[in-house]
Amino acid sequence: MPKYSFLRKLLHPFIITAVYILVSEFGFIALITVVTSIVVTQNPTQEQLNQINDITDQYMYLIYALSALAIFLLGRAGDKALGRKHNFWPTSGKYIWSLGPEARSEILRGIGSGLLIPLIIISLLIFSGQLQYHGIFVLSDISSPIFLLFLTNVFSILTLVSCEEYIFRYKVLSGLQKSFRPITSVALTSIVYVIVKAFQFNLSPEDHVSLFLLNFSAGFYFLRTMRVFRGLTFLVTLYGMIHLVCGLPMLGQKGVGIFLIMDSTVAFRSVTGGGLGPLSGVAFISVLLLVAGTSGVLWQRNNASR
């Protein structure tokens, strides 16, 4: 009987993960189908096939954001139908400015971490000659299709991270905690997160490491307060700085950012991440390793003092 009880506790986190993967794959297939029907007329040429790949890549974030949003809405509807109560976002603080001082402090710390890490690393890579700054890109012409794509990516990254905090923190991590120790639960959740991203994007081995460390940190941020504020704002700000502000590649997708920053001719790909983006570089991975370790240590100290 205890064995079956243990398996039942594991069932819910992995079911929601499997459903998320299936919805993501369905969304990707739907995107390719729509783009192909628009681009290809009769006999597809190599140029048309390349065009399909380019257009599909531009809307990958959007399709996966909508997939995560669908899981979020289904999950919330299921929770309501079953009478489950949780505080993913407190009803007493519907808007950020109406949240309590502790929640606002978590938000500010998350934004601060997500801002400083890429700002310092990318600045050092520019000053050391590894990266080159080429000026303002997106905002140079707000009437161009690129600006519309930029706004789409802003919406997509914000929606994707927010909904995935619900999936991986409130569903997967909270579910695994019923059967495993906190550190094991955080590690397993991070592995599940990386597996989902591997289905969604064409990742490098270094991307797997970075995503694991980012999710590991977000997991301990959540465990310290059982709220998503710090982890959510940390990830949104960090991804936004890398991809939307600096215009660098991320998760295999080309960057469309406010600024145009690229590898210099003397750049070491292992340091900057090259065409795969900074999350695939040693510079970022080293700092993320330090952040993940620090978040775990601080959680242990906080837990021991209770």
Quick one: what percent of the chain has pLDDT higher than 70? Answer: 88
pLDDT at 1: 46
Among the residue ranges 98-112, 194-208, 230-244, the one predicted with the least confidence is 98-112
Mean pLDDT of 236-243: 96
pLDDT at 198: 94
Mean pLDDT of 216-236: 92
Q: Is 258 a residue whose pLDDT tops 70?
A: yes
Q: Is 270 a residue whose pLDDT tops 60?
A: yes
Beta bridge pairs of residue 136: 259
Among the residue ranges 14-23, 78-87, 136-145, 205-214, the one predicted with the least confidence is 136-145
pLDDT at 4: 47
Q: Is 9 a residue whose pLDDT tops 70?
A: no
